[in-house]
Amino acid sequence: MTISSSNRPVALVTGARRGIGLAIAEALAAAGYDIALTGTQHDAEAEAAVAKVTALGARALFSAFDLADLPAHAAALDEIERELGPIDLLVNNAGIGAPVRGDLLDLEPQNFDIVIGVNLRGTLFLTQAVTKRMLARQAVLPRAVVTVSSVSAALASPERTDYCISKAGLAMFVQNLALRLAKTDIGVFEVRPGVIRTDMTAGVAGKYDRLIEGGLVPAGRWGEGSDVARAVVALASGAFAFSSGAVIEVDGGLAIPRL
């Protein structure tokens, strides 16, 4: 996709204050997008994220709202469109881990509801709202919805069942959305990161260092936010339009079945 200064597309990246989301926002800014970043709070970290994106030549806006708060979606989208223009690319990156890791038989309903409310329910209905707005106008540039899920959509971890279920649900949502939008110009993709070095994995870094050393990841290293970001930029370009519904593993071979 060739982008000039006069026709920069707009990307909405959820959960972009830090980690994978910020890496995606920076990569898209470098590729020529203006960026709407979201997170639950507009703080110094959010301002720093906006500064990193604008330093790459993009216009940027930080919109603070809770993804689980469905009534907040419309106001956030109105603000983004007012300040940056219509959204051409939605990157569903925001998500939370299991509030408590432990025995599946001790999983608390309230913790399950929190994870589903953000990772699945919030993402689904934000995507619904954005795609309706996309379909209400004529396409000018390539458009796409890229959902960042996890290898946990297919690989079970009984100590965080709530998280795994939320990601498996997202995977099925992506497939249904791809079918619904197949005759439109909107590409729909799922990106499944593996073991990625982020704040979310910092607390278990020692565990994964040992597992990676023991061969868990065939590539022999941690994934980085930039690995995920490069995949998102490629999928957003329009080059894979006929591959709508594709699932891209960004995991160094982790999810490949082995003997």
Q: What share of the chain is helix, strand, coil (3-state, %, to 5)?
A: 45, 15, 40
In 10 A of CB 241, how many CB atoms?
14
In 10 A of CB 27, how many CB atoms?
23
SS3 label, residue 185: coil
Question: How many residues are present in the chain?
Answer: 259
CA distance 17 to 41: 9
33 is catalytic: no
SS3 label, residue 92: strand
Among 33, 163, 173, 222, the one annotated catalytic? 163
> What are the catalytic residues?
163
